[in-house]
Amino acid sequence: MTAKQSLNFTLNIWRQKNNKVNGYFKTYKIYNISPDSSFLEMLDILNNQILLEKKEFPIAFDHDCREGICGMCSLYINGRAHGPNDLVTTCQLHMRNFCNEETIYIEPWRAKTFPIIKDLIVDRSSLDRIIMSGGFISVGTFGHPLDGNLIPITHSEADKAFDAASCIGCGACIATCKNKSAMLFVAAKISHLSLLPQGKIERKKRVINMVNQMDKEGFGACTNTRACEIDCPKGISTEHISFLNKEYITSCL
């Protein structure tokens, strides 16, 4: 295998100490990055340099699993949530997708429902509150329900519910939407639960409660720009939004 050429970048990164002070972009240069490094590994390397220079705090960014599944990483990279590639989270983005000497802009998710905590970290607890308002099936947790096989579910229905359920709650859909709408996130949950026989019983109450909570949190309205679908790392389709709208209208009748 031929040795892969290492890469250099100019990084413009949003720095903000906390929610009480203003933030600003700061420029950093970074050299000799392997194309096989992930985006976050590149930031690790930069942070190590910043740390040992002892002049400022390393850049704070959220991450945990680094496998594309926990939904913790965020980052708005060159104007796109989770960066330039489709269907990946930031932790699954690799530097081979950038050109040598490229200038990269890195910003936090921007939405008033996601207040900045520090640098690139935002508070996404509004999404948890939407789930609390109804994103569940109200069954006891004591292990006495029916045998799992007593209510057959067709392969395609189970698959559809699964696809909706695969939302990782990252908030990219909101960050990227010009209205800062949380429709895709909410719609995914509504579809997941309403498509399954177990979730159908509470479907009316659920959709009304969740939509109300979404409004109460201050998320914007959906005007069908479909930016959310493009930046969603899990490929959640805007068809679910149509489904949500239908559910909502019939529930309000």
Q: Which residues bind ligand FES (CB under 6 A)?
A: 63-66, 68-73, 89-91
With CB under 5 to 8 Å by kind, the binding choice for 236 among ligand SF4, ligand FES, another protein, none is: ligand SF4
201 in contact with another protein (CB under 8 A): no
Q: Which residue has the tokens 């413009």?
A: 12
Instruction: Indicate the residue type of 23.
Output: G
Stretch that binds another protein, among 8-16, 23-31, 150-158, 220-228 (CB under 8 A): 150-158
DSSP one-letter string for 11-41: EEEEE-SSTTS--EEEEEEEEEE-TTSBHHH
18 in contact with another protein (CB under 8 A): yes
Residue with Cβ nearer ligand SF4 (13 or 177): 177
Among 108, 111, 116, 118, binds another protein (CB under 8 A): 118
Stretch that binds another protein, among 76-84, 105-113, 124-132, 172-180 (CB under 8 A): 124-132
With CB under 5 to 8 Å by kind, the binding choice for 184 among ligand SF4, another protein, ligand FES, none is: ligand SF4
Residue with Cβ nearer another protein (117 or 208): 117
Interacting residues with another protein between 154 and 173 (CB under 8 A): 154-155, 157-159, 161-162, 165-166, 168-169
Would you state the structure tokens that stand for residue 208, as one six-digit string? 């009304």
Residue 223: CB minimum distance to another protein, A: 28
Query: Distance (Å, rounded) from C-alpha 79 to C-alpha 59?
Result: 19
Would you state the structure tokens that stand for residue 102, as one six-digit string? 């490229």
With CB under 5 to 8 Å by kind, the binding choice for 73 among ligand SF4, another protein, ligand FES, none is: ligand FES
18-34 per-residue burial string, b: 16 or more CB within 10 A, e: under 16: eeeeebeeeebebeebb
Query: Distance (Å, rounded) from C-alpha 155 to C-alpha 97?
Result: 36
Residue 139: CB minimum distance to another protein, A: 5
Contacts of 12 (CB under 8 A, 6+ apart): 25, 26, 27, 103, 104, 105, 106
With CB under 5 to 8 Å by kind, the binding choice for 208 among ligand SF4, another protein, ligand FES, none is: none
The H-assigned helical ranges of 35-182 are 39-53, 125-132, 155-165, 172-176
Q: Residue 225 class from Cβ within 10 Å (0-12 exposed, 13-18 middle, 19+ buried)?
A: middle
Would you state the structure tokens that stand for residue 133, as one six-digit string? 């308002």
Among 8, 25, 29, 87, binds another protein (CB under 8 A): 87
Which positions touch ligand SF4 (CB under 6 A)?
167-173, 184-185, 188, 232-234, 236
Would you state the structure tokens that stand for residue 81, as one six-digit string? 């949530």
